[in-house]
A and B are shown apart, each in its own frame.
Chain A
Amino acid sequence: MKRIENKGTPRSHAVVWEQDISSYEDIILARQKVKSLMQGMGFSLLAQTRVITAVSELARNIVIHAGGGGKMSVSEASRTDKRSGLKCIFEDSGPGIEDIEKAMQAGFSTSNSLGLGLGGAKKLCNEFQIESVSGKGTSITIIEWLP
């Protein structure tokens, strides 16, 4: 049982893919790239589908909400228990999210969408971290671990 407590924090790795996200085509590119990286790492098709859907939601958030666009960077992650994974960071310098808790709720939207994107993305990945400063931008990190 000790092992579970001893998972440790993710170590940082070199970025393996980085791209700007400012148009709808960029969302497709991000999806395709993450998919091929995950395939290469040996993730299951289900894990790929889940994470790529999350990537799609988060990238779309940048296109819709962060006027000037933002970027996605992908790197490998590993833990002290030797499990490795894939980490995607979405950063933008848009208006930021005023009330993160509210934004994470299903059904909340400021853009006439379903409001499932942010909360959905959290449910679709192993780890989800969001930081946002009003007026400065938002940074969201997702990690999926290999089984």
Chain B
Amino acid sequence: MTLAHDECPSCGLRWTVPRTGCPRCGAAPRRLSASGLGTVAAVSVVHPASGEPYVLVLVDLDEGVRAMGRARSAVPIGTRVRAGLEDGRPTFAPDGA
């Protein structure tokens, strides 16, 4: 799956969370799609008070923005991953796996 992100047409800054203006220069951003390929920057196995544990990751996408997602397993930081859609959530798995 692709992941949406913003780019400032004026200064080129990119970010993930929708904004109405660029935090560096104030210009109105345009919405782009990222490939969904990236590198794991942070990972946690979350143990909720009720229910099964699940894995959350932060992934540095190749387009230069960061995205939060689920992961199928506790992928180590530095792993190359690709986003897919599982149960309606962006879910990362090792690229090529």
- Bound pair: A and B? no
| A residues neighboring B (CB under 8 Å) | none
